[in-house]
Structure 1
């Protein structure tokens, strides 16, 4: 094939890396499949330089490394997708799950957002100076079905807020409007109560009040005391930088919202808080392809492959998806430290049960589901699963149950003798 390569770089954290399909599949490999491995007679080379859990400081490091490489004119493009992990350094102390005193004041929160903006600005300008065309992407998130990680409660009103919130949850199943009233009263006392915004948003959505629902669900994310999803400020940074410097913008947030029921993204599009299902990765690959076509003077980007074609090309079969469901079940379980964790724990249980259906011999899935059920209070079912795992492979089961994560879970439940817990009635 004539001419030098055309290089597509992916920079950022777990989404550009391709979680939970990585390393088999990501946005770049889908683009390569669509373009049949070539862009205007140049071999298309995908270099995924994203890293799970990376913050924007890592994006700057990778951009500077890429900028030191040689690139001929119009031979390289970089997708920059970063902003979900900027607040991970905020760690709640011991106490009530998912709520308590502030972890970062307004000044610190603004400083984190400002640092994200500076880092992305430095990264895209370094890339552009080196002849690599940057594409900034906004970050879509699961607003509909993923609760805030941490709710800040004012010390002097915490007890009253918790009482009102509890009453709202108690009546929400049979008297939605009374729950709306109680949650609205919570927000009168504490306008930044993220969990109240989340529950109120879902009640409005169930009642068909889309605009009110969206307002509260966005507020739930923006008021999260430890956000693990991109906030409005983060996506605002991305749009502002694209406009200020004339950088290409892949507005994935808008694209996902256009495809979502009621324009509010949820579990139909995401596995969890921010990681898309395969259709979402295909959608982003399609939009990135239009930028490649425009940048290279290609008349039109080729059509992206169907989901079935992507699955065939990347080996995404039943065994692969069993592993994905297992990993996502663990992800939901590990991120269930929020105030009202039944949503995330329920989702995690659904994933792990599906994984067990697809891979009934998996010791890891047996143990993971046993731990989740034990945490949810279903000790009988948890022990039954642990016994089944022990019957399949006693050595590996005990090794997993003596691991730090299992010890933490079981220890918090007062279970210190794992063998007795499994084997004794």
Structure 2
């Protein structure tokens, strides 16, 4: 064997290299397999008809016209409890023609139940009140007022709604919100100490339309969302936090971010944006929860408790000055206990010290450890966001300051609010009147030149909106269970019972006739407003006048042909009138337009 052959035989045998693409392909397959599996599962769910679109708007076509219709599933995705358990679903959302009529002025309202008017009834909320006031003041203009607000939801949800509405040629955004930042979706009431991160919130919302995500939400616990299935569970489920806690600080940061996004969406769409501070019942509503600071000293606690009990005892006997002195001594130990501030406010008001009373009432609200009223810091955020401008497009409307001007003692109480945040008719009128002045200032010049200088007064609004004694009585009767649920003082409930008793005497046995006459008068003054027509139609159905109810439903459908509530009324009326063929035809139209609607 030669030396060359020997050297070659000692060398390692050649290694057969695998093509690099095979290893990369295996890695890529492993990496993508979860996504492929999810995609397959997503396809199976969609083919099976599982889930639904959760976009804010869905498109509907009727009579050759396209409409953007609010999607109930959009709102429902943010709640465990069915939305229909907390409000009349017929009053939720709106329908916008895809083609904007010449000369139309589109107004969109964003907020929560307070902005909607539910409780007690959206028929007497901000949107219909503005329609009446603006329609009278600027009769030559056509106003389209759409209310995107929904009970139990908050700025996280309204941000998405505003971004969707920005595509529909808005002229004006009105924002009145803040009450549900704590207890609404992603609020501190439901999450960890730091709550959901902004990235997690954005992801939750961005992927909500995937059927796989909807399946997971239905099968698993939904973090950060209201979890009560029944209203009675709701208050018990809410956790308590001091306003200076990390969760509340994070809540305010996210409120600021969402509010600024709504402002930006309106400005980019060419709309004027009115950002409103939010009012609340200070005078007649106690804080929901009070807490001492963390690490509260036991010795101080015993002394504080004794002084607080002493103050309450003196207050009960009418010795308000002595009560205030005991409360002041307690406040020297801890002034952040919300209920202490509230009772100090009550005593100051009894002694005629209005300004001091207002100060203590505000502190009671701001120290509430179950903050379901917009506090001073949130209202400062609203003002600061408005100040970012641009000044010719964004304005701050300080409704928190304006509303007390219409209240007894110059402090907002149960004359302006039914409960802690929901307007009475007087409160709604005061808010709408203030807003109408701001709206008047931003309307096109020709409209301003033709304006009626004086606002119609509250009594005229009551006539045009059919707010009659029987309606007022029904509101009181429907609200009483809610007040007991919130743990309202018996004295407050007793006041409502007295109202109910007085209204019952006023109405007597002719309530239905009085209410019907109110609707007739309203229609003669105010045209064909949906709420008057729909309430009138339901009353006529109750009275057995099916033909009259059908007539009212048809009037609604003339202006709003894709409103399911009106078509359901029409179906009911036709069935009661024995017009089965016609009822079946209308039912089919309803089912074609809204397959998920119960008819």
User: Normalization by structure 2: what TM-score?
Assistant: 0.53
In 2, the alpha carbon distance for the partners of 1:325 and 1:261 equals 20
Q: Is residue 13–residue 55 contact of structure 1 (8 Å, CA) maintained in 2?
A: yes
In 2, the alpha carbon distance for the partners of 1:2 and 1:60 equals 26
Give the Å deviation of 1:349.
3.4
Is it true that 1:273 corresponds to 2:420 in the alignment? yes
Give the Å deviation of 1:37.
7.1
Give the Å deviation of 1:286.
1.8
Is it true that 1:229 corresponds to 2:373 in the alignment? yes
Q: Is residue 25–residue 314 contact of structure 1 (8 Å, CA) maintained in 2?
A: yes
SS of 1:143's equivalent? coil
In 2, the alpha carbon distance for the partners of 1:323 and 1:90 equals 35
SS of 2:274's equivalent? strand
Matched ranges for 1:201-212 at <5 A: 201-212=345-356
Structure 1, unpaired ranges of 5+: 362-425
Is it true that 1:196 corresponds to 2:340 in the alignment? yes
Which of 288, 293, 315 aligns to 2:466? It is 315
Is it true that 1:85 corresponds to 2:228 in the alignment? no
Partner of residue 304, structure 1: 455
Partner of residue 520, structure 2: none
Partner of residue 112, structure 1: 251
Which of 52, 57, 76 aligns to 2:151? It is 52
Compared CA separation, residues 61 and 301, structure 1 to 2 (3 A): farther
In 2, the alpha carbon distance for the partners of 1:2 and 1:127 equals 20
Partner of residue 249, structure 1: 396
SS of 1:170's equivalent? helix
Partner of residue 16, structure 1: 115
In 1, the alpha carbon distance for the partners of 2:357 and 2:134 equals 40
CA deviations 1:361-402 (Å, max 9, x no partner) are 9xxxxxxxxxxxxxxxxxxxxxxxxxxxxxxxxxxxxxxxxx
Give the Å deviation of 1:118.
1.1
In 2, the alpha carbon distance for the partners of 1:171 and 1:195 equals 16
Compared CA separation, residues 104 and 276, structure 1 to 2 (3 A): closer
Is it true that 1:145 corresponds to 2:281 in the alignment? no
Is it true that 1:289 corresponds to 2:436 in the alignment? yes
Q: Is residue 8–residue 28 contact of structure 1 (8 Å, CA) maintained in 2?
A: no
Q: Is residue 325–residue 355 contact of structure 1 (8 Å, CA) maintained in 2?
A: yes
Partner of residue 171, structure 1: 314
Which of 48, 55, 65 aligns to 2:164? It is 65
Is it true that 1:32 corresponds to 2:131 in the alignment? yes
Partner of residue 23, structure 2: none
Partner of residue 346, structure 1: 491
In 2, the alpha carbon distance for the partners of 1:261 and 1:322 equals 22
In 1, the alpha carbon distance for the partners of 2:189 and 2:396 equals 33
CA deviations 1:153-186 (Å, max 9, x no partner) are 3553444433322221111123222211211122
Which of 219, 229, 233 aligns to 2:363? It is 219
In 2, the alpha carbon distance for the partners of 1:167 and 1:110 equals 34
User: Normalization by structure 1: what TM-score?
Assistant: 0.74
Q: Is residue 137–residue 455 contact of structure 2 (8 Å, CA) maintained in 1?
A: no
Partner of residue 367, structure 1: none
Give the Å deviation of 1:23.
2.5
Task: Using CA pairs under 8 Å that are at least 6 residues apart, name the structure with larger relative contact order, 1 or 2.
Answer: 1
In 2, the alpha carbon distance for the partners of 1:38 and 1:357 equals 34
Give the Å deviation of 1:303.
3.4
In 1, the alpha carbon distance for the partners of 2:440 and 2:424 equals 25
More deviation, 165-174/54-63: 165-174
In 1, the alpha carbon distance for the partners of 2:142 and 2:437 equals 18
Q: Is residue 415–residue 426 contact of structure 2 (8 Å, CA) maintained in 1?
A: no
SS of 1:24's equivalent? helix
Q: Is residue 5–residue 45 contact of structure 1 (8 Å, CA) maintained in 2?
A: yes
Partner of residue 207, structure 2: none
More deviation, 16-25/153-162: 153-162
The alignment's C-alpha RMSD in Å is: 2.9
In 1, the alpha carbon distance for the partners of 2:160 and 2:241 equals 31
More deviation, 147-156/218-227: 147-156
Structure possessing the higher radius of gyration over alpha carbons: 2
Structure 2, unpaired ranges of 5+: 1-99, 191-232, 508-599
Give the Å deviation of 1:191.
2.0
Which of 261, 264, 273 aligns to 2:411? It is 264
